[in-house]
A and B are shown apart, each in its own frame.
Chain A
Amino acid sequence: MHENTVENSVTLCRSCDLVIRKRALPSGVRALCPRCSTALYDTPYCSVNGMLALCITALVFYFPANFLPVLEIHFLGSVRTTTVFQGAFAVFNQGYWVVGLAVLAAAVLGPGLLILSILAQILIVKWGLSIPFWRDSLKQLLKFQGLLSQLTMLEIYVISFLVSSFQLSDFSDIYFGMGTFCFTMLFLVTLFLQREYDLEHMWTLLDGHH
């Protein structure tokens, strides 16, 4: 097969279509396109059990992160709190549903779907690869992986805690709640999960099991 022999030695840059001869890389090194410096591939560092552990940890933090108070305002004796979920809902209720949906997608739905998707992929890789239905589901999940990881904006939300607490401290006393801790932990765990995850490696796992 001509196609297969070419495939193993050569790759193309996804940004500029340059033909590149593949080389084995030492671990922790990333191959860049010599013409346009796009990241091409790196050594797969993708431990399935490690990812499973991170997924479960992320799920544990997910619900308190979204439904426990993240900010508390003490104003003339009254205490108000808000959660991440209420934040999205409040702008939605004011009639700014585009903004509400954007916040909901980037901070609540995006991370949730990302974690669930990776969890499902791991379970299929571990136990379901021989069943055609699960192989097909894995293929569909992998196709949406890029979109989901772009939709997840936890790091930006963590910075926005700081910015809003500083902004509001001009008017009254602001305290962080339990949700802030859980959300920051969710961010860190998801960060490590995404570093561990390698989309190309997941595709080869699907390929290698015919």
Chain B
Amino acid sequence: MVGASEIASAVGPGFLPWTWVIAVLPLASAALILFFGKRTPGKGPVYGIAAVGTGWVLSLVVLWHFVQGGGPLERSVAWFQVGPLHMELGELVDGLTAVMLVVVTSISLAVQVYSLGYMKGDARYTWFYVALSLFTAAMLNVVTANNLFQLLVGWEVMGLCSYLLIGHWWEEKVNSNAAIKAFITTRIGDVPFLFGIFALTFATGFTTSNIRVIAERISSGEVSTMLVAAAALLLFGGTMGKSAQFPLHVWLPDAMQGPTPVSALIHAATMVTAGVYLVGRLFDVFVHANAHVLQYVGVIGGITMLGAALLAFVQDDIKRVLAYSTISQLAYMVAGMSMGPAGRTAGFFHLFTHAFFKALLFLGAGSVIHSAHSNNMSEMGGLRKNMPVTFWTFAIGAAALAGVFPLAGFWSKDELLTVAQENGHPVLFVVLLGTALLTAFYMTRAVWMTFFGEYRGQGHPHESPVSMTGPLVALAAASAGVGFLGAPQLGAVFGKWVFYQEAEKAVFVPWVALASTAAALFGILAGYSLYKRYREPDPLRAYAGAVYGVLENKYYMDDFYMRWIIRPIQYPVAVAVNWSNQRILDGAVNGVAVVTRASAWVVNLFDQRVVDGAVNEAAEITGETGGVLRALQTGNVQWYAALLFIGVVVAAVLITRA
């Protein structure tokens, strides 16, 4: 176990044993930027981009192994041992890992290049790249880890980087509050996650947290169903926090206070999908638990996707529209997971396509914000003429998200809908279809309010530099193209890389595809008819009435949390912390200060009297002796000669006497 254990593979392992290098590269670049960034020409991004660029190429090499039909590989080295528990550092590389590697490195590369333009002149430009690189390393560690404790380390480092980057402009209180909210809310999910890891480790008799060993143990039926169900529910707590599922979704819209490239990388494409990845990676736990566990996952997904999509209707901040959209699309993936092995593949396919078009939409929104100097769509409008590249790429992203044929989102949504229909989930099917319609509607609203009509802001909008439009174009190409990897007509190759136990047979149901296209078109038409001319106030307000107010207040969830959870906890905690701070901590500090002062007085006395006294005394004695002796030195050579003779005589007398 301690050494390398390899699963037999059809194709030779090739680069696969070195997959860990992909995760270590950005870690090294984070350290390089931290220590040498400011002294490097260009202030440091060159290390980050070089590391993640190399990682991207290597990820494609890893993926190529699976494209050729290669098998998975796991290997590890011993880390340390506590009692019976063997901790290891290792990598588990299968098709899912390869796909996640490609997603993370692609988006990270695009975002880092984009940030060259977007963050130019920022006071903490170098630090920003340190955090981006560290984040990338942590996420890559999560997707390559072969055991849960190693995964947890990456998971928590991601949380830290998310906190640091949301609060990147911490001078404004709103931003640091948003960072704290994100950190604490995800932490509420992380506690059950940690206990879920304990439960799974317990299932192996506290010998290992190796994912494959746990999966085998659970599949063999040796572990009680109760324990597996409890572990699954606890793990899903982590997913609810990290992937912003109801009721822990409240942090993600606030996280938009961070710089837009951060929103694209962390809060749209990668970190928030880690929760979905977790469910898929530990799918055995969910499958072998009580059947109600997966139902519960599906219900949470359904509630989240509809609730968040509706909230996107009433947002004026373009990034918040996208944030609620992200929550809603993450719920799509979660709902996919709840539909069994085929749904797992479909969910991961949606994760894969969503990463590209949502990162594209965020970077496009960033380009717009960069140019219009405002987040609010009410202060935009007409930007189509000033920013053609941003407009076209954003439009491709929006159409992909809405599920327009033949863009990426169409294929992944269609696959999810087909799975729901084929595997007998009628309620989820309706919810998924309804959410697709709502998605098309709010994206049409966002596109029309931003890019059509007359410009309503104060600035002079202009197209962004090439460092920003380049990644936009690349991501737009990906958003248009990657969907074909899952197209049933083309063999659905994606399902041959990412599968649970055995590859699923891809099916295409024409009426489902028609229904999803109809939903998308209906949503777009409805959005167009309402927003083709900009009106103040929002025309929806008149139609929705009281519901509009509920949506504007985010279902009063933030108020509920504030009133019933945060305040009741905050006040007693604050008092207790204040007391302990004043009495215990300050007391200790003051005590130390008093002792230090007293000993300083003693040391001073010793220094002044004893040490300095000795030095001064030695100097004085030397001076006085010199004063006496200098009388002898007259300068008269005959006087010296006389002394010499006297000395010789005295010496002669003494010697002859002795």
B and A form one assembly: no
Chain A residues proximal to chain B, CB less than 8 Å: none
Chain B residues proximal to chain A, CB less than 8 Å: none
